[in-house]
Chains A and B, each alone.
Chain A
Amino acid sequence: MPAAHDVDMGRSKLIVAIALIVIAVLAAYREFRARRYTEALLNEWLSRNCAIGERGALERELQRYGSRLEPRLEQAFVNGPPADLRTQWLRIEQREQKEVVAAIDAGRTHGLSADAIAKLRIRSLVAPSDAVLNDRVEAYRSAALAGLGVIGDARAREFLRKVQSDPDQRGYSDAAEHSLGRAAPRK
């Protein structure tokens, strides 16, 4: 028969083990929630195209989760939008083009000249290529740089400086410079 203090030791170890497991589960859950939240934050930032009435709320959240978001924003700029997003955008463009052709064929011109309508119809009959996504890609990548400007810590500033001076990113050097201006070290 075990001595009383052996039983107490066994119970203590069990309690400690359970406590450790609970702490680990809670930490994992917290991490899961934080990841999910920052993912949603990232997506919202990259797809947002108007900020009326927000009073900088999203920017404050970006700064709060800056260290988690920085690598994702850097990736977003370097790689551009992921393949599934491009596919979704192409599908949208395709549908819009079909709707334009249908509207023109139904006789609607919405004030455009016959020449403009004819050209619009021809453009809308061409299967959408990646070229029609240029604006969306530019918007996405410039949003990534702007996000880094909002976070504005040393790592973000370093990345923006690299983009600014990279001859391969000449189209974005101006955007990087502007974001750097925003990312000036806070007093």
Chain B
Amino acid sequence: MRISGVSSSWVTVGCIMLLLAGAALALESITLQRPVGNTSSSADYGVLLFGRTAVHRYGPGPTPINIQSSDTPLTSVVAFAAGLAPIIGTRTPGTGATLTFNPPLVIPLKIWTLCVNQNCNGPFTDQFKEKLETFLFKANEFLERERTGLVLGKAGTPGSDEWISNQTANIPKRDQFKHFTTREDADDCAADRLGVLTDQMKDAGALNMYLVGRVDGEAGRGESCLEPDISVIGAAALWHTMLHEVGHNLGLLHVDGRQIRHYVPSENLMHKASSERRFVSEGQTFLINFDSQSALKRVFSNLLPAPRPFRDCTNSQVECPPLTTWIWDDQN
């Protein structure tokens, strides 16, 4: 029998081909590999498949992660896992992709202590050192748990305490900056003032954190001056306020309920008025790792194990998942 001049066997072959193509798309998966030597048994992976106008979320789950998407124009893919650097790649519709994570990136941190209390009149004590160690511990717990792929390391010689510089006896500098202000008429964030602050007091290969008495009169406030490697912290700031300023260094801006609806907004790292910060979205993690405004590109690109494809996510023509994108339902 012939149908419009085409043999039935050809129709059958065509149907089979279509079915196979459909099945391939339906079974398409992203295979995720841990870096060599990483023996963690964690099976908690997440994947974003995205283009300029759409993003699809997959996981959390074990590898391989099926991406049952018929949205063939989406070709950018990024994968996340706790304790590993997110990995970006390209998906070929129908065949999927294999992505191999890198170990987390260790960013050296140097803390310059000008003041240990808001009145800037006390000596540097063991108790204060413990406060900074607690910050480092909690900050790294946060960064690992939230799959940022970053670790704050100690600047200086390994095993030493050079990551903390006691500058409480540096009277000229201390008295100039104990009340750090950002008003229009007295802006310590201006380039010349930052130049004075950082003169002889900056580690070029590290995130530099300056502890002062108050920022704009407030002991609990922090300020990054939108610099990639400088933050200024009031003496009573909480550990997550210190990490919030590092978030600014890494290119993140403030969020509120309009942007982060999925979470309690004030629990997001980048909320400006929070008593507990616990989460970042996967959209934010993407920006930290792949946006060209991030300190990873501006300052720390030499620490990357391989060139990273940074993108200008402020340009709407560039493929980046929206800030609000999440995979892990972090609410608890």
CA distance A100 to B236 in the complex (A): 20
User: Looking at the complex, which one of B217, B245, B254 makes contact with A182 (CB distance below 8 Å)?
Assistant: B217
A5 within 8 A of B: no
A residues 164-180 touching B (CB-CB < 8 Å): 171, 174-175, 178-179
0/1 per residue, B153-186, Cβ < 8 Å to A?
1100001000000000000000000010011100
- Contacting A at CB under 8 A, from B235-266, are 235-238, 241, 244-245, 248, 253-254
Q: What residues on A are CB-neighbors of B224 within 8 Å?
A: 52
Assembly CA distance A53 to B224 (angstroms): 10
Contact B136 A142 (CB under 8 A): no
Complex-state Cα separation, A50 to B233, whole angstroms: 10
What residues of chain A lie closer than 8 Å to B253, measured between beta carbons?
52-53
What's the Cα separation between A92 and B275 when bound, in Å?
8
Main secondary structure of the interface of A (DSSP, over half): helix
B237 near A139: Cβ-Cβ < 8 Å: yes
B274 adjacent to A138 (CB under 8 Å) = no
- B-side contacts of A9, CB under 8 Å: none
User: Is there an interface contact between A111 and B154, defined as CB atoms closer than 8 Å?
Assistant: yes
Q: Mark B125-154, 1 if CB is under 8 A from A, else 0.
A: 000001001101110110010000001011
B8 in the interface (beta carbon within 8 A): no
Distance (whole angstroms) from the CB of A65 to the closest CB of chain B: 17
Nearest CB to that of B161 among chain A residues? A113
* 24 intermolecular pairs with C-beta atoms under 8 Å apart: A49-B218, A49-B220, A50-B244, A53-B253, A56-B184, A100-B141, A108-B141, A110-B141, A110-B151, A111-B151, A112-B137, A116-B130, A120-B130, A120-B137, A136-B275, A139-B219, A139-B238, A140-B220, A142-B219, A142-B236, A145-B217, A149-B217, A175-B214, A179-B217
In the complex, which residues 17-57 of chain A have their Cβ closer than 8 Å to any Cβ of chain B? 43-44, 47-54, 56
Chain B residues positioned under 8 Å from A139 (CB to CB): 218-221, 234, 236-238
Say whether, besides A111-B153, A142-B219, A179-B217, A50 and B272 are in contact (CB < 8 Å): yes
B217-A51 in contact (CB<8A)? no
A140 and B159 CA atoms in complex are apart in Å by: 36
| A89 is an interface residue with CB less than 8 A from chain B | yes
- Take A112-B133, A142-B214 as given contacts and tell me if A49 and B118 are in contact as well, using a CB distance cutoff of 8 Å: no
Q: Does B229 contact A (CB under 8 A)?
A: no
B137–A51 contact, CB under 8 A?
no
> How close is A187's CB to chain B, nearest CB, in angstroms?
12
B119 close to chain A: CB less than 8 A = yes
Minimal Cβ-Cβ distance residue in A for B136: A110
B223 in complex: contacting residue of A51, A116, A178, CB < 8 Å: A51
> For residue A49, which residues in chain B have a CB less than 8 angstroms away from its CB?
218, 220-222, 237-238, 241, 244, 272-274
B312 CB within 8 Å of chain A: no
Interface of chain A residues 87 through 133 with chain B (CB within 8 A): 88-89, 92, 96, 99-100, 103, 108, 110-113, 116, 119-120, 123
Distance of A48 Cα from B272 Cα, bound (Å):
6
Closest 8 CB pairs of A and B: A139-B220, A146-B217, A110-B140, A48-B273, A135-B236, A138-B236, A142-B219, A47-B273
The answer to whether the Cβ of B276 comes within 8 Å of any Cβ in the partner chain is yes
With contacts A47-B274, A110-B151, A112-B137 known, is A53 near B254, CB below 8 A? Answer: yes
Residues of chain A within 8 A (CB-CB) of B153 are 111
Nearest chain A CB to B253 CB, angstrom units: 6
B119 & A174 in contact (Cβ 8 Å cutoff)? yes
User: Does B319 have its Cβ within 8 Å of any Cβ on chain A?
Assistant: no
Kindly state the separation between the CA atoms of A99 and B278 in the bound complex, as whole angstroms.
Answer: 12
Closest to B120 in A: A174
> In the complex, are the beta carbons of A136 and B130 less than 8 A apart?
no
Within 8 Å of chain A (Cβ to Cβ): is B216? Answer: yes
- Contacting B218 at CB < 8 Å: which of A100, A116, A142? A142
Choose among A50, A56, A88, A179 the residue that contacts B221 (Cβ–Cβ < 8 A): A50
Known A-B contacts A49-B222, A50-B241, A99-B141; the reply to A142 vs B118 at CB < 8 A is yes
